[in-house]
Structure 1
Amino acid sequence: MRAQPRTKWRAAALAVAVVAGATACSTSRAADPGGAAPSSAGASASASPDAASGEKDSSFYAPQVRASAQRAGVSPQLLMAILYNESYKPHDPAFQRSWQKIKKDAAFGIVNMHKAAFDETKQGRPFAHRDWEELPDDPALAVEAAAWFLHDLARQLPADRPGTYTKDELLALGYNTGAGNMAAFARGARPGSQAQSYLDRLHANWDKAGEAVRG
């Protein structure tokens, strides 16, 4: 869930492409042997991919965001803003799996969720039978998991906090840095440069996230 410069991913794409090609040449299996088909939760077919990268703009997933946010009882604008925050990374399923071969602790899906976070979040939820490895192929599952992760973070917020940050700001910081750090920020600790950068991007994405979920 932590951001890295977009330029790093573009540079890494060449190296990953070589790895992906080697994998394809060395095995006859499909890239995702056993993964689930993408869910059709209502994404608008009229949304267009980003011209430079081929990635869909995060607003493409607004229907999933609205539905998942309602089920989890979280702000759809916050959830959409987090999708925008996490869009720095290429989300092509083949790319993600190739990158994971290089970086074993890499995150999966359009919400950049790590395995431990997904496995904890899914407990007792309707998607408890799903696997983290399905996230690259199923944006709806990724959005649903992110919504419930935010729901669980909200339950861990201290009731008494100084008001330095809004609830949504704290949840975004928790999404990026974990529940323990979120609680520290809620009590008045100052974010480091990386967490502050995430918060700054949240502010930059806030208005367009609101427009996307209202559309």
Structure 2
Amino acid sequence: MSEDKKGSGPGRWLVIGVVVVAGLGLVRGNGHDDAASAGPSPTATAPSGPGSGAAPSAGSSATPPNAPKPSKPSGRYDPADYAAPVRQYAAEAGVSPQLLMVILYNEAYKPHDPELERAWQRGKPDASFGIANMHRAAFEDTRPGRPFASRQWEELPDDRNLAIQAAAWHLHDLAGQLPARPGVPLSRDELVALGYNAGAGNMLAFARGVRIGSQAQSYLDRLRDNWSKSGEAVK
């Protein structure tokens, strides 16, 4: 999501990775390698309310019988490798699998290593977690009544399937807030993606014709660049 993208890029994350790796050694030396701050997320990136679509009952089980096993991060990350859970959770949430996949491509700009994410979050408590870069506030607003209602935001770096499922339902909720016929030359999927990046309030402003800022425009440009390969990945 948006706050981690300011000034982001592969070079920036390479520098951050070097600094954090050094920091991890210091943290481990003090016996706090598993500690993680639990600061709130900025309200600008959290959705303003639940969508209008009906969700299936959550039940008491955190892992439904037909759900994929938790996907443990390892090695190189390629969003296309997660096409199966993308298709499953997009269907569960009633959103386009291509839209869900393109969000993963857009959010793949930074390393998604669990230790690196947690070390970065210790210094920046409002940072996002998981391969879909979800903020705590967005996750907490999305999960009530959903199949992952018993899961925690802190699990996102370690369970990529959970990150995909939560992102799918967040997209569902954002789509439920859009007017039936937005008065702008943008598709509903594009508006929902902008909502994922910039928050529901900005999404609704864009749908009314408010000019898209440079950061949101950059996200939209990347989304359009990634759209075709996202469709190929989920065929």
Shift of 1:43: 9.3
Q: Is the 8 A contact 1:185 1:191 kept in 2?
A: yes
Q: Is the 8 A contact 1:107 1:115 kept in 2?
A: yes
Alpha carbons of structure 1 residues 132 and 43: separation in structure 2 relative to 1, 3 Å: closer
Q: Structure 1: how far apart are the matches of 2:27 and 2:172?
A: 38
Unaligned runs of 5+ in 1: none
| Code of the aligned partner of 2:89 | S
Which stretches of structure 1, 4 residues or more, deviate above 4 A after TM superposition?
none
Q: Structure 2: how far apart are the matches of 1:115 and 1:55?
A: 25
Q: Is the 8 A contact 2:70 2:162 kept in 1?
A: no
- 3-state SS of 1:89 partner: coil
Residues 10-58 of structure 1: CA deviation (Å, up to 9, x unaligned): 111111111111111111x66379xx9xxx82799xxxx8xxxx43111
Q: Structure 1: how far apart are the matches of 2:229 and 2:35?
A: 33
Q: Is the 8 A contact 2:70 2:159 kept in 1?
A: no
Q: Structure 2: how far apart are the matches of 1:160 and 1:86?
A: 27
Q: CA RMSD in A?
A: 2.1
Task: Count matched residues.
Answer: 200
Q: Structure 2: how far apart are the matches of 1:55 and 1:132?
A: 23
Question: Normalising by structure 1, what TM-score?
Answer: 0.88
Counterpart position of 1:193:
214
Shift of 1:160: 3.6
Q: Is the 8 A contact 1:171 1:182 kept in 2?
A: yes
Counterpart position of 1:31:
34
Q: Structure 2: how far apart are the matches of 1:129 and 1:212?
A: 30
Counterpart position of 1:63:
84
Counterpart position of 1:13:
17
Q: Is the 8 A contact 1:81 1:206 kept in 2?
A: yes
Unaligned runs of 5+ in 2: 37-61
Of structures 1 and 2, the one with the larger relative CO (CA 8 A, separation 6+) is: 2
Question: Normalising by structure 2, what TM-score?
Answer: 0.80
Q: Structure 1: how far apart are the matches of 2:69 and 2:154?
A: 22
Q: Structure 2: how far apart are the matches of 1:145 and 1:156?
A: 17
Instruction: Specify which of 133, 137, 144 is matched with residue 112 of structure 1.
Output: 133
Counterpart position of 2:205:
184
